[in-house]
Each structure stands twice: as C-alpha cells, then as structure tokens.
C-alpha cells in the first residue's frame, strides 16, 4: 500500500513485511474458526489482486471496510464487492445491520456508502489515521436490511 492510497485509513498501510504477514496470518486463523469475528476477502479484477473488502462482526452488526488500488478506483469495484459482501452475510448469516466509518475528508468513501444505501448517523472527533500527525473527524454510516 502506498501512503497516498491509505492516507485516510486507521490501520493501513502496514509498515513492514512482518506486520503484513501478521495480519494475513490472523485473517487465515479467523477463516478456520466456526464463528469468525472478521473475514477479509481479496478483490480480483481481470486476474489481478487490486484490493480488499472486510467485515468485522460484533453483536449482530457487520462493520464494513474496503480499499482499492488507486489505479483501479472509479470502476465500481468497491461498490460491487461491498454489495456482494453485504448480500452474502445477510443471506447466509442473518446479518441485517451494517456500518462503516470514514474520515470526513474521504469523499470517495462516504459517497460510496451513500450509493450503497447507507445513511449517515453520526460524526465524531478523535479519529487517528495511521500516517496522520493530527486527529481528525469521522462519519458513521449505517444500513439496515429488512
């Protein structure tokens, strides 16, 4: 991940190969559980790994995350991947409530959330993006499926 692509992310970029390996090993370990607490998926486009989507499960709510390589943005890949993810978890696991957070400066993310039918339900201070020096504000968006 490059710094520009992850400037609004709390947990990215991974700063070393060992940190990346640790994350991948923890994702693999979750996949082996009967009831994982989170699931990470690769986004593949034209045979190339171009990003990822994730869902973190707690108290019947799925918190969504995504990132797409800058050169593959604006192609609808995140929209499609997050849509498939929410459909799958609603159908297979009965998850009906989803949420996502983004930095208030991350226009692309909050527009995607709105396109997905999510509603802005909060704005909070105290967000610390990984590479940022200062705290910022974040939006909370939510989606309830019936």
How does pLDDT run across 66-122, given as a tens digit for each residue? 989 999 999 999 999 999 999 999 999 999 999 999 989 889 999 999 999 999 999
Which residues, 6+ apart, have CB-to-CB distance to 70 below 8 Å? 2, 4, 5
d(CA 51, CA 77): 9
d(CA 53, CA 86): 11
Helices then strands, each counted (H, E), the chain:
3, 6
Q: Is position 1 within any domain? A: no
Q: Is position 12 within any domain? A: no
Q: Is position 5 within any domain? A: no
The per-residue pLDDT for 110 is 95
The per-residue pLDDT for 40 is 92
Phi/psi region, residue 2 (left: phi>0; alpha: psi -120 to 50; beta: rest), is beta
Number of domains present in the structure of the chain: 1
Q: Is position 60 within any domain? A: yes
Q: Is position 138 within any domain? A: yes
Q: pLDDT per residue over 3-29, tens digit each?
A: 666 655 656 666 678 888 888 898 889
The token pair that represents 93 in the structure block: 């696991």
Q: pLDDT per residue over 33-74, tens digit each?
A: 988 899 999 999 999 999 999 999 999 999 999 989 999 999
The per-residue pLDDT for 129 is 63
Query: Is 129:8 a contact under the CB 8 Å cutoff?
Result: yes
The per-residue pLDDT for 23 is 84
DSSP state letter for 70 = G
Full residue range of the structural domain in which residue 95 is found = 17-144
d(CA 78, CA 68): 7
The token pair that represents 123 in the structure block: 């704005």
Query: Is 72:50 a contact under the CB 8 Å cutoff?
Result: yes
The token pair that represents 37 in the structure block: 């607490």
The partner residues of 89 in beta bridges, in order of sequence, read none
Q: Is position 22 within any domain? A: yes
The per-residue pLDDT for 132 is 75
For the chain, the maximum distance between any two Cα atoms, rounded to a whole number of angstroms, is 42
Which domain CATH number covers 115? 3.40.630.30
């Amino acid at each position: 991940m490059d710094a520009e692509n992850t400037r609004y992310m709390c947990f990215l970029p991974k700063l070393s190969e060992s940190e990346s390996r640790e994350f991948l090993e923890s994702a693999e370990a979750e996949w082996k559980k009967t009831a994982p607490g989170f699931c990470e998926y690769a986004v593949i486009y034209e045979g190339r790994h171009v990003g990822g989507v994730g869902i973190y499960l707690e108290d019947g709510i799925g918190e969504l995350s995504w990132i797409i390589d800058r050169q593959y943005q604006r192609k609808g890949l995140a929209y499609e991947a997050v849509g498939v993810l929410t459909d799958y978890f609603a159908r297979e696991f009965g998850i009906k409530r989803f949420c996502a957070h983004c930095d208030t400066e991350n226009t692309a993310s909050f527009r995607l959330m709105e396109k997905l039918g999510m509603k802005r339900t909060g704005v909070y201070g105290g967000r610390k993006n990984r590479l940022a020096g200062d705290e910022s504000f974040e939006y909370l968006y939510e989606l309830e499926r019936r």
